[in-house]
Structure 1
Amino acid sequence: MTTEQQPTNRTAREVDLLWGFDRPAPRRGPRPKLSREAVVDAAVAVADLEGLEAVSMQRVARELGYTTMSLYRHVDSKEDMLVLMSDRALEGTPPEPRADRGWRAGVEEWIHRVMEVYRRHPWAIRLTLSGPPAGPNGLRWMEAGLREIVRSGLDVGNALQMLAMLSSLVRDTLRIEGDMARVAREAGSTMAEAERDYSSGLRRVVTAEEFPTIALMLESAVLDQRPPSGEPDRLGGPADELDFSIHRVLDGIEVYVERVRAGGPTGAGNTPAG
């Protein structure tokens, strides 16, 4: 095992794991051929190719050409490996502070970059979260997102709530999109085709008398639209329309900050900074 004594506090233990504080002091002699980094890299590669359900200590050991017991010298359990994978998935450089200090554009850029990360590693949105980020990569992304929201004028407490809500919106939307894409793929179609089939099926049972708003939706053909031509990478799923929801959230932040600065009521929660 990597260590004989582990902190009893879960967060403290995850910090030790993610920052490498649990590792024994280096020994003299040649470096071991197998490392924690190699184990996590192999696990990420398996998850990228076959999904999270394919990841196991045995499978990763086989990919590396080692025995399963060899892995336990670097990672104590599959649960620890998943924690390490969750931070490794966020490897990369978050957006830098904008020179124009445009917080809305900064938040939108952060969201789009996060979506790119999750689309590279779609299994990452299916990991169970034990709390806010604690690893070096996760904290860098958290810092970048929080920095832009604080620039709106919200204090850091309210900004943290908004960051959590925006992150949940992105993760849940991408999770739904992934489920839809999988079901469509298994049926030999695309998400756009599946939505048109859904719309066609509803027209058989929906009447304006019983479901007037759904009937209006079908009449407007919002589910029948194809992804714009010239954009083959667009899936035609919920995440393609996420910008509208994001913009309305940012509108709300902007209106709230302006109202409070004008001396209006703040409602529940803290007040804007400055």
Structure 2
Amino acid sequence: MTTDDAPESRMTREVELLWGLDASPPRRGPKPRLSREVVIGAAIAIADAEGIEAVSMQRVAKELGYTTMSLYRHVDSKEDLLVLMLDTAMDAPPPPPRSDGDWRAGLEEWCRGALELYRARPWSVRVASSGPPVGPNGLRWMEAGLRELVGSGLPVGEAVQMLVLLSAVLRDTVRLEADMSRAARATGTTLVEIEHDYSVGLRRVVTAEEFPTIALMLEEQVLEQGSGAGPPDRVGGPADELEFGIRRILDGIEAYVRAGEGTGGPSS
């Protein structure tokens, strides 16, 4: 097999897809009503309303009033459509560089921004990722996060590892929150009410002898804190309390860099 005959890698395919390198030259005459952007927009509208499970080429075609074959002129497969949807979902600009150079504040802002995007479109954390971002929007967010991590004193290789960790924490927390929200809606309750009911239920079975630490948690009413108050947009899910964990990760980065005396930290 010659090099020219070698199958195209998935990553190469995604770069071409997300940067429009596979697009045909524009035709003369009126702009067609159906385009790749229109297909992506319709797919995202379905996912926003019904979840990613509802998205299919057939369903998108039906929503747009076209045949499924018409969509394949603009998007080759559902796999390609999901890739395009994911990058489009990150179309909000990431935080710009801080004028004060405060990398911690910059990373906290980055995490809040990414969390807001994930919570606005929780279906995005359910799409399987084939690797690091390669699309324009994903790369902008990656660049912004790496910029702050490198600003902490980490070498870029270790900064990449920490960005993967932070991204995983954000995505998995939103995924858990979405699962809990779905269960709450099924029973006609809210996440805040579920937290309260959980505490009530545990008090019936938890004893200080068998579960001393959980008993302490119930005694200090950890789960009830903020259940009746807090900001009006409080969801009551795990992502509401993520800031504490993010700050502890940043504490670890700061301590690691200090211990390495500016060399990127000691070897593990």
Question: Do these two structures clear the TM 0.5 threshold for a shared fold by scoring above it?
Answer: yes
- Offset at 1:218? 1.1
Aligned position for 2:130: 130
For 2:188, the equivalent position in structure 1 comes to 188
Identity of aligned residues (%): 64
Partner of 1:52: 52
User: 1:272 aligns to what?
Assistant: none
Q: Which residue of 2 aligns with 1:71?
A: 71
**Offset, 1:28:** 3.1
1:1-274 aligned within 5 A:
8-227=8-227, 229=229, 231-261=231-261, 266-268=266-268
CA deviations over 1:132-178 (Å, ceiling 9, x no partner): 00100000000001101110000000000000000000111111111
Q: Which residue identity lines up with residue 196 of structure 2 in the other structure?
A: R
In structure 2, what residue type is equivalent to 1:54?
A: A
User: 8 Å contact 2:153–2:263 — kept in the other structure?
Assistant: no
Does the C-alpha gap of structure 1 residues 244 and 228 become closer, same or farther in structure 2, counting only changes over 3 Å?
Answer: farther
Aligned equivalents of 1:263, 1:80: Cα separation in 2: 41
Q: Note closer, same or farther for the CA distance 1:101–1:185 as it changes in structure 2 (3 Å cut).
A: same
Give, in whole Å, the separation in 2 of the partners of 1:51 and 1:19: 26
Q: Are the equivalent residues in 2 in contact too, given 1:6–1:13 (CA < 8 A)?
A: no
Equivalents in 2 of 1:139, 1:30: separation in Å? 33
- Counterparts of 1:44 and 1:267 in 2: how far apart (Å)? 44
Q: Report the alpha carbon displacement of residue 262 of structure 1 after superposing the two structures with TM.
A: 7.3
Where 1:261 maps in the other structure, the secondary structure is coil
Unpaired runs of 5+ residues, structure 1, are 269-274
Q: Distance in 2 between matches of 1:228 and 1:70?
A: 52
Give 1:227 shift. 4.3
Q: Distance in 2 between matches of 1:108 and 1:220?
A: 28
What whole-Å deviation, never above 9, does each CA across 1:216-264 have from its counterpart, x for those lacking one? Answer: 1111111122346361211111111101100100001111111111789
CA contact (8 A) 2:118 2:125 kept: yes
| RMSD between superposed Cα atoms in Å | 1.8
Distance 1:119 1:239 in 2: 9
Deviations 1:167-208 (A, max 9, x none): 000111111111111111111111111111111111121111
Q: How many residues align?
A: 264
Aligned to 2:172, the other structure's residue is in SS state helix
1:214 offset after TM fit, Å?
A: 1.0
In structure 2, C-alpha distance between the alignment counterparts of 1:212 and 1:52, rounded to whole Å: 41
What one-letter code is carried by the residue in structure 2 that aligns with 1:72?
Y
Runs (4 or more) in structure 1 with deviation over 6 Å come to: 262-265
Distance change (3 Å), C-alpha of 1:94 and 1:6: farther
Question: Structure 1 residues 264, 21: closer, same or farther in 2, change over 3 A?
Answer: closer
Equivalent position SS for 2:159: helix
Amino acid at match of 1:103: W
**Gap regions ≥5 residues in structure 2:** none
The secondary structure found in structure 1 opposite 2:29 is coil
Shift in Å, 1:31: 2.5
Is contact 2:153–2:262 with CA below 8 Å preserved after alignment?
Answer: no
Q: What's the TM-score, normalizing by structure 1? A: 0.92
Superposition deviation, residue 128 in structure 1:
0.4
SS of residue matched to 1:128: coil
